[in-house]
Amino acid sequence: MTAACPPREQGQQPSLCLCACGAGCQGPGQAGAGVRAESRPGQHRMPGQHRVSGRSEAQAGQSPPEALQLEAVRQPRASVGMATPCGEQIHQDVQDYYGKELQKSEDLKTNACTTSARPLPKAVRDALERVHEEVVARYYGCGLVIPECLSSCWILDLGSGSGRDCYLLSQLVGEQGHVTGIDMTEGQVEVAKKHIAYHMDKFGYRKPNVEFVHGYMEKLGDAGLADESYDIVISNCVINLAPDKSAVLREAFRVLKPGGEMYFSDIYASQRLSETVRRHRVLWGECLAGALYWRDLYSIAEEVGFSPPCLVTASPITIGNKELEGIVGDCRFVSATFRLFKVPGGTQAGPGQVIYKGRIMGHERELVFDANFTFKEGEVVDVDAEMAAILQSSRFAEEFLIRAGGANAAALQGCCRKGVKEKIRDPFQLLERLTAPGPACCPGGTCGPPGCC
């Protein structure tokens, strides 16, 4: 018996829920996810912080590319019906799957949660080797979600599981930084917590710079996480497990400081999923039944107040199970990494030129920011207003020389031909280019329009 979807109150707007009812279902860990948390002892409020409850007028005026916006409204986000499990049932099934059925990564039935990401810097590889073997064995994420420029940062890991990424990041932020992991599966949180002393001793830290809390990523306030507490929010293949994606992004936006970043890897679908797929318990646990149609990410990000998503990487998803393949049908899946920024509303930026200083550890010669922009040390790169605003307002500001205008300020970074190059935003398109025969054009993983090379 699946949980019933509650009726929507008069005038209430539907949230993006994977339930088929379209009633804005808000099961445990979802209701009121966008409401500010009241200050109370134990919250991670940084000195001088103030509360924010929503996006500014300037941020509200931002919109995703017109083509994506039009496509996103061509079909409803949820079909009519009552068969798909609602939040409470989904949360319980996922907890059982990850807390009881899975004991190690090899127990997974697809590669959706084990796909690799782009090559890792040596510092990250070395840090990973210092993580306890049980923590690594109980890890079920897709690749690694490790952004750049992390020294002294405060980081929140949504769906931290056994804590592998948290312990890795603990080393990269240093003793002056801090990492918080939150997960809804108590068994996973217990595994992570029991190895804190081991890792702090191994890292040579006098006091822990990492903590783990039990809670829902849709309701971070209930776990004591205050507004504007973190520089970065990461997530590794878990947002697909949340019934309400909008609530997750709203909460991430709330706890981020102005200029902060959400850097996350997840599973995306090539189309909106059928009711049969959305009802399948194993496909939920395998990160497929809750996969977001990739175009909807752009709509949700805009609604919440984030900058348009920057596509970083894309990796193929193969199911390898005939029964599950038959249920999925012709829908394709991809593991993709995106970065979203909380650009302050008053940020004034137009097209310009930037020069990377080459000072970020592990990325001294070049910084592959996303699939569209690669910044080489000392090289002038044309950026659009969107990227200029991100660099100017984020932790990357001190790593670049930024100047407005320029000889070719209206153009994006070129590859093999001059002039404006359309940004690649579709992870499936990026995957096709990465796997196409022939030489790759750009270190960022993509080249220009067809015929560019």
Question: pLDDT tens for residues 246-286?
Answer: 999 999 999 999 999 999 999 999 999 999 999 898 898 88
| DSSP annotation of 370 | S
What's the rounded Cα separation, in Å, for the pair 381 and 356?
A: 9
Q: Which amino acid is at 144?
A: L
Q: Give the distance, in angstroms, between the CA of residue 155 and the centroid of all CA atoms in the same chain.
A: 13
| 3-state DSSP of 183-252 | ECCHHHHHHHHCCHHHHHHHHCCCCCCEEEEECCCCCHHHHCCCCCCEEEEEEECCHHHCCEHHHHHHHH
State residue 152 phi and psi, 5-degree precision: 65, 10
pLDDT (tens digit per residue) in 10-28: 343 333 333 323 233 333 3
Residue 140: band (very low, low, confident or very high) from pLDDT cuts 50, 70, 90: confident
Bridge partners, residue 400, by sequence:
356
What's the rounded Cα separation, in Å, for the pair 372 and 415?
A: 10
pLDDT recorded at residue 121: 84
Q: Determine contact, residues 210/179, Cβ cutoff 8 Å.
A: yes
| DSSP annotation of 385 | H
pLDDT (tens digit per residue) in 432-445: 999 888 655 544 44
What's the rounded Cα separation, in Å, for the pair 16 and 18?
A: 7
* Cα–Cα distance list, 112 to 125, 195, 289 (Å): 22, 27, 11
**Percent of the chain scoring above 70 in pLDDT:** 66
| 3-state DSSP of 111-162 | CCCCCCCCCCCHHHHHHHHCCCHHHHHCCCCCCCCCCCCCCCCEEEEECCCC
* Cα–Cα distance list, 260 to 38, 390, 395, 419 (Å): 21, 10, 7, 31
Over range 70-96, report the average pLDDT. Answer: 46
Q: Whole-model pTM? A: 0.75
* Cα–Cα distance list, 67 to 200, 299, 386 (Å): 49, 11, 17
pLDDT recorded at residue 144: 78
How would you classify residue 406: left for phi > 0, otherwise alpha for psi between -120 and 50, otherwise beta? left
Element (DSSP H or E) covering residue 316:
strand 310-316
HSE (CB half, 13 Å, CA atoms) of 56? 11
What's the rounded Cα separation, in Å, for the pair 200 and 2?
A: 43
pLDDT (tens digit per residue) in 27-47: 333 333 333 333 333 343 333
HSE (CB half, 13 Å, CA atoms) of 335? 26
What's the rounded Cα separation, in Å, for the pair 202 and 193?
A: 15
What's the rounded Cα separation, in Å, for the pair 36 and 352?
A: 36
pLDDT recorded at residue 175: 96
Q: Determine contact, residues 204/127, Cβ cutoff 8 Å.
A: no
